[in-house]
Amino acid sequence: MGKDEIKIACENRKARHDYFIHETYEAGIELKGTEVKSLRAGKANLRDSYAEVKDGEIFIEHLHISPYEQGNIFNHEPLRRRRLLLHKREILKLFGKTREKGFTLVPLKIYFKKGRAKLELALASGKHNYDKRAALHEKSAQREVERALKERSR
């Protein structure tokens, strides 16, 4: 693996189904040693996690990183609050946006870039059920078009 390759540790696929993604940000994560080892093994879950701004800092809540098998007494708590590393102006911008009606901070994926753990954070607003159904219809229609083009090219 090269220095500037990206290795995805875990992804929140359901987030794109449940939310409209308006902007994305790359944030560093403050982790302990055994958390990094578990992430490299792909033992993390972003399903119910979210981020919030408190006292001028951004924290991610409910990010589950499984305890490392060889971690013994130095293991971490799986659901602990973790600080995200962003520039101050980005934090202030996100703080202002999340105070608006309907916006929330949703993590999309955790990946390693140049050996460092990064989190892709999205400024998102929730979808209604009819929005989700419309998206599924568009996706299936696109699949049908691609299938027809593939058959035609044979």
CATH number at residue 87: 2.40.280.10
**What confidence tens digit (pLDDT) does each residue in 98-135 have?**
888 888 899 999 999 988 889 999 998 888 887 788 88
Residue 6 is predicted with a pLDDT of 84
Residue 152 covered by a domain: no
- The Cα 133–Cα 126 span in angstroms is 14
pLDDT tens-digit profile of 28-63?
A: 998 877 888 888 888 888 888 889 898 889 999 998
pLDDT, position 4: 66
With respect to residue 70, please indicate whether it lies within any of the assigned structural domains.
Answer: yes
Q: What is the pLDDT of residue 120?
A: 92
Give the closest residue to 121 by CA, choosing from 135, 102, 99, 104: 104
Specify the pTM: 0.76
Domain membership of residue 86 as a residue range: 6-126
pLDDT digits (tens, 9 = 90+) for 58-92: 999 998 888 877 767 667 777 888 899 999 999 98
Q: Is residue 138 part of a domain?
A: no
Domains held by the chain: number: 1
- Whether the per-residue pLDDT at 94 is higher than 70: the answer is yes
pLDDT at 1 over 60: no
Residue keyed to tokens 């219809």: 137
pLDDT at 28: 92
Q: Is residue 41 part of a domain?
A: yes
Longest dimension (CA), the chain: 61
